Amino acid sequence: MNVKRSLTYSDAGVSIEAADHAKERIKALARATFNERVLTEIGSFGGMFDARFAEMRSPVLVASADGVGTKLKVAFLMDVHNTVGRDLVNHCVNDILAQGARPLFFLDYIATGRLAPERIAQVVEGLAQACAENGCALLGGETAEMPGFYADGEYDLAGFIVGIVERDEIIDGRQIEPDDVVLALPSAGLHTNGYSLARKIFFDIAGLKHDAYVEELGMTVGEALLRPHLSYLRALEGLLEERIIKGLAHITGGGLPGNVPRILPAGTSVRIERGSWPVPAIFDLMQRLGGVTDDEMFRTFNMGIGMIVISAPEMESRIRAHLEAHGQECFAIGRVVEGERAVIIE
């Protein structure tokens, strides 16, 4: 009988050594985001966070989870991996911000077929930078090596965020009423939605390469598609305590028609005036190249709007002044009208 050598985990395609190297890099990046409430180091079985909020009257935790979608495919083509982590954190921050919450801590999940420590470190670098910018601790996460499950050189990325808000400062849209003003904070581009259609338009229909320079965009296709998902926390946080914002809608998948109704009370709709905000050139270009209808554009892409702010008309000037003082552009794009949770774009 032949005696075969003992199999190891590496024979199955998993490198424990590579995982250990990646973890050491990750620990240093995550540690830079820690504050006095973080009670554990990266590597513990669970991340611990001091939950004593004695300075708050009635704290409410707000949690959310999301991913980056097929924007990752563009990152793979460009071999740029330090931006998608920032996209993910900012997306999750905006999701809980829509209810008036500030982030406390963030967890990530990265899965790949073969662990490449430098690439994973670049992803976590983006996560850590965005966490620091948003005052959020990168408390922990999971890096999974799954041979045969992902294409070589590819990975998936997901994030989980927990934030906090005073119960009486929750923004839930209940006070929205007809004649309220609808303000828009511009996006930097597609943010993290609509990439399956965008990739089909640019790469399949138009036959462009990721490194093709497009005069209309002023950059390559890949650079335009990797433009960052912005966080609106720093621009809005000084207004949250004033309770003058009635509703916030993060414009993600589903665009304006799919996201604004989520904060509208019964009996109200929103009427939006086209041309009242600048639409980035990439959206016009995609519509022409792909022959995409207006309705499909608005329900797939954010069309240059990252966040919607709804307030009483008399508070518009106060909100505008605050945003401008923080370097945040703002456009009045419509009004709340009577209706049944619809978005009318005219």
Instruction: Give, for 156, the enclosing helix (H) or strand (E).
Output: strand 155-166
pLDDT at residue 241, rounded to an integer: 87
Mark whether 247 and 145 lie in a shared domain.
no
Domain membership of residue 2 (yes or no) is no
Query: Is the four-CA dihedral 308, 309, 311, 314 of positive or negative sign?
Result: negative
My answer on whether 27 and 153 are in the same domain is yes
The DSSP symbol for 265 reads: P
Q: Which of 139, 136, 147, 25 is nearest to 81 (CA)?
A: 25
**Domain for residue 4, yes or no?**
no
Tokens describing residue 184: 């828009």
pTM of this structure: 0.92
| 72 and 194 fall within a common domain | no
pLDDT at residue number 10: 62
Say what the pLDDT of residue 21 is: 66
CA distances from 219 to 82, 153, 211, 297 (A): 19, 25, 9, 22
The answer to whether residues 140 and 46 touch, using CB atoms and an 8 Å cutoff, is yes
> Residue 237 in 3-state DSSP?
helix
> Are 106 and 76 in a shared domain?
yes
pLDDT of 24 reads 76
Q: Which residues sit opposite 213 in a β-bridge?
A: 220
Q: What parts of the chain have a pLDDT lower than 50?
A: 7
Same domain, 228 and 145: no
Residues 131 and 80 in one domain: yes
Do the Cβ atoms of 215 and 283 come closer than 8 Å? no
- CATH number, domain containing residue 261: 3.90.650.10
Strands of the sheet containing 181-186, edge to edge, are 247-250, 305-311, 181-186, 331-338, 268-272, 343-345
Determine the pLDDT at residue 65: 97
* Domain assignment present for 114: yes
Residue 58 sits in which domain range? 9-169
pLDDT of residue 43: 73
Q: What is the pLDDT of residue 9?
A: 58
Q: Please, are residues 282 and 288 in contact by the beta-carbon 8 Å criterion?
A: no
* pLDDT reported for residue 42: 78
What is the C-alpha to C-alpha distance for residues 40 and 51, in angstroms, rounded to an integer?
13
DSSP output for 70-125 = THHHHHHHHT--SSHHHHHHHHHHHHHHTTTPEEEEEEEEEEESS--HHHHHHHHH
Residue 334 in tokens = 């419509």
